[in-house]
Structure 1
């Protein structure tokens, strides 16, 4: 086999492997969406039906009209949006400031602090449920969306600090020193020089924080005692009852729950690309 033929064969195998990975990753999403549009006789069958032969919107209509626990589905969507966006705004702000301090300053206890952050990342979220629950109740934030936001910030902040620390450390300090020589203040240097260069990392941490807070089930279930404070993952539990599982409504609700995550990613991914080329200095 000639070198050109081997190169072509390698590309074909690599592309084939990429297609298989793509199909493996996207098939559950496709099955969720297609099941939401299938009639019950096509859902509860032993036959493999890849496409709904008769599209129906009954499951989506039932999710919207009947709601969950005597509340509209929009209430749970609103609660999830408040928690997710609050986690992104608060968590990203603290993560960026903390990462900048760790990467730019040398202070006593810096290394132990980083080790503690790494250890916290190793702990499962369920292991932090009881201590976070007791802390939120003690400060009077129990059964409130703000308390849920605080817990999600606590869960996502260590990862955000570790990731942004790498981005901040990769920015040459000489860029900031040049801005100081030109008369820029520390805030101006941070906002116009450092921030554009670490924007891709900030977007990545924002996506992680948004998805983590949006998909959270355990903390939203146990921190909220009333159904008015539940988020979408908790609301979907009500379609599991003693009579059976309403897979059509669950898949329809899951599809609706997935759309905001996709929209959020489409809105911020452009910022991720633009941040890679922003913040250049004149030659």
Structure 2
């Protein structure tokens, strides 16, 4: 029985690795496979010949490489603006919902849950009309504001639930010592809440980095197009450069992968502690 459980665990782990890491391995193999080998009558799983021409093209400074790295810079700018505005607003809103008593507080928290299930495509046409009327199209700042409004309900819900787990006695003791609510917030609440705040930062960054539908409608110039849109444009009506797309995809994975690896423990602890109480 003991060996059967161990064998089952190993089999489940292998299946998980295949489904989780398999697409990334396959993408890397495509990125280093020559086109003639990829479209051979009898293609092989592993290429007999390895080429890094796709990576060289992206780093050569040519048109496609320049467009790709410019779009990566656009994605980083959008993520930075989203975090700089979205995280402070989410923290302040969460504090008000978790620590302050006012009329309609519970209604607001319930409405936050409702907004989380509204699909993006249900609001994208009204958003486009608003942006066109306000001359806000092709603007990184206003595009980031859409991201902020999209992530705020989830961020406020998680952080407010986390704040609710912090004993109110700690804050009351700070008030007795002469600290105002503003000072006690920075001295007591924020230092204890860094796991959930870091996890929210990570979630916002990853979601902003992978955005496709919203910028596809609201960003049409190279000054604002994010990385996901530019990579999709490597496909034309005449040709699809699978190797180049795969190489761009592997390079685009580096920033979110590094971020996730660095903050992974905060993501797990923040998500679990911020979702159990409300």
Query: Would you call these one fold, judging by a TM-score over 0.5?
Result: yes
CA apart distance, 1:123? 1.1
Asked if 1:248 is matched to 2:254, the reply is no
Is the 2:197–2:270 Cα contact (8 Å) retained in structure 1? no
Aligned to 1:80: 75
Aligned to 1:196: 191
1:139 to 1:105, Cα distance in 2 relative to 1, 3 A: farther
1:238-271 per-residue CA deviation (whole Å, 9 max, x = no partner) reads: 2111112110011011111111111222343466
1:12-50 per-residue CA deviation (whole Å, 9 max, x = no partner) reads: 323431331122111111111221122113322465644
Q: Which runs of 5+ in 2 are unaligned?
A: 272-278
Q: Which runs of 5+ in 1 are unaligned?
A: 1-5, 277-283
Number of aligned pairs?
270
Aligned to 1:19: 14
Aligned to 2:276: none
- Superposed CA RMSD in Å reads 2.4
2:29 to 34, 44, 48: 34
Structure 2 distance, partners of 1:246, 1:157, is: 37
TM-score by length of 1: 0.86
1:215 to 1:101, Cα distance in 2 relative to 1, 3 A: same
2:233 match: secondary structure: helix
Is the 1:34–1:52 Cα contact (8 Å) retained in structure 2? yes
1:253 match: secondary structure: helix
Structure 2 distance, partners of 1:237, 1:137, is: 24
Map 1:1-283; keep pairs closer than 5 Å. 6-45=1-40, 47=42, 49-64=44-59, 65-68=61-64, 71-269=66-264
Structure 1 distance, partners of 2:201, 2:10, is: 31
Structure 2 distance, partners of 1:125, 1:274, is: 28
Higher mean alpha-carbon deviation, 109-118 vs 241-250, is at 109-118
1:69-123 per-residue CA deviation (whole Å, 9 max, x = no partner) reads: x953221111010011221222121111111111111211222222221111111
Structure 1 distance, partners of 2:155, 2:222, is: 31
Is the 2:33–2:49 Cα contact (8 Å) retained in structure 1? yes
CA apart distance, 1:147? 1.1
1:50-69 per-residue CA deviation (whole Å, 9 max, x = no partner) reads: 4344332111122333334x
Higher mean alpha-carbon deviation, 79-88 vs 33-42, is at 33-42
CA apart distance, 1:235? 0.4
Is the 1:77–1:232 Cα contact (8 Å) retained in structure 2? yes
